[in-house]
Amino acid sequence: MDSIMFCVLCGGPFDLEDHIYRIGPQNPAYQWLYDVRVLGTFSALQSSRLAGVLEIPENSSNDDKVFLSAVTSWTEPDTVPFYLGNTMYEVLTDDEDGHLLFPLHSACIDIGCRMIKSKEDRRPLANFSSPLARLYHMLRLQFLHQKYFGGLIGNDLLGLQTDYAGYGPRSALAVDVLGWWGNSHEKFLTDPFNVGTLQWVFNVVRDTPPPRGTPSSIGAPDREPAALEKLPPELLDQILGYLHPWSVIDLHYTSRMLLHRIPLDESFWSTHLKDGTLLPHIWELEDIDLKTYERHRKKDHPTFRVQCEDLCKAFFNKDIPLCNRDHRFDEVPPGYWNRCRIWNIVQELCIASAEL
């Protein structure tokens, strides 16, 4: 699929043309594609103005270091400019200081900021006042790197017209002709915020085999404690209080001694599942009363039980739905699949930006 303009984070279009996409433009699953914003800086805004009245568009960002437009739209297939109010702006063209405007889906911005925040929760980035500013900075770095060193062709900053190794196309831009006729492009265009009810989440957990070992089954430590293992419980608890939950989990599995000294009970898993630190990409879980849900399900399934630990471990790896190699994920909604895809793209952007 060739397009002059697309979201640089997901590769999706900003407008659906019947004769190209062969899907119903009015279908609710695709309406998110029309919800477009422009991300950049005020200097880029000033240098990118092409025509129209001299006005300062409203900044929807809470960070004065970055500009985020109100919702706009792009419906001119053969042109690059975007309209903000009555003024036309050129996007994806940098000024003399290397600043520019990026057109993005609102949903992609939201997912990108959530992903960046989940990283910053583990390792704070003091140089940026907000995840949105960080997202703009990373996109700008990638644009400039591709422009001067990567032979940038068109607007594909993140290789969205290529395939994942073993996973298939990275975006709808990389779907081949047979894929289009087979409708495999549709999941790339499905609303990543529409994941339906969460029954599929618990179905995945239901189909997950039990863990191979627990502290009781692994046995007692076979040596004397050393270093961190020697600390009194009160001091160890204080240290753990400063760590991100996944760091606590990592520490838990460091040695047999710490496996016993740092117990991860159901309260640990449920607390951090609810506060969004363990599975930040399934934020709907934060709004569910798991105990109430469990009681409701027990009416039809008496043995049903919500196991927060199993749930966290099953969904921690966001690559699994993309690779089609784990049949537990065969029935996940296409919106969740697309969310994981966009999340992983932003994660790759974080890694690439750290190396520039």
* Residues paired with 51 in a beta bridge: 88
* pLDDT surpasses 80 at 318: no
Mode of pairing for the β-strands spanning 87-89 and 49-51: antiparallel
How would you label 123-134 residue by residue, b for 16+ Cβ within 10 Å and e otherwise? Answer: eeeeebebbbbb
CA-based radius of gyration for the chain? 23
SS3 state at 314: helix
> What pLDDT is attached to residue 254?
86
> What pLDDT is attached to residue 294?
73
Max avg pLDDT among 93-102, 146-155, 201-210: 93-102
* pLDDT surpasses 90 at 32: yes
* pLDDT surpasses 60 at 79: no
* pLDDT band with cut points at 50, 70 and 90 for residue 121: low
Mean pLDDT of the region 232-259:
89
* pLDDT surpasses 80 at 263: yes
Mode of pairing for the β-strands spanning 168-169 and 163-164: antiparallel
Mean pLDDT of the region 320-334:
77
> What pLDDT is attached to residue 336?
93
* pLDDT band with cut points at 50, 70 and 90 for residue 185: confident
Q: Which two tokens stand for residue 300?
A: 């039809």
Determine which of 12-16, 63-67, 93-97 has the lowest per-residue pLDDT on average: 12-16
The share of the chain scoring above pLDDT 90, in percent, equals: 33
Report which of residues 347 and 185 the model is more confident about: 347
* pLDDT surpasses 70 at 177: no
> What pLDDT is attached to residue 346?
95
* pLDDT surpasses 80 at 130: yes
Residues 30 and 155: their CA atoms lie apart, in Å, by 22
> What pLDDT is attached to residue 181?
54
> What pLDDT is attached to residue 190?
94
* Residues paired with 68 in a beta bridge: 39
The share of the chain scoring above pLDDT 70, in percent, equals: 81
Report which of residues 8 and 77 the model is more confident about: 8
Q: Tens of pLDDT along 96-107?
A: 999 999 999 999
> What pLDDT is attached to residue 349?
94
> What pLDDT is attached to residue 20?
57
> What pLDDT is attached to residue 108?
98
* pLDDT band with cut points at 50, 70 and 90 for residue 53: low
* Backbone phi and psi for residue 115, each to the nearest 5 degrees, phi listed first: -65, -45
Mean pLDDT of the region 258-284:
88
Report which of residues 328 and 339 the model is more confident about: 339
> What pLDDT is attached to residue 113?
96
> What pLDDT is attached to residue 255?
84
Report which of residues 54 and 8 the model is more confident about: 8
Mean pLDDT of the region 102-125:
86
Mean pLDDT of the region 181-201:
85
Average pLDDT, the chain: 83
Residue 173, Cβ density class (10 Å: 0-12 exposed, 13-18 middle, ≥19 buried): buried
* pLDDT surpasses 60 at 208: yes
> What pLDDT is attached to residue 211?
61
* pLDDT band with cut points at 50, 70 and 90 for residue 3: low
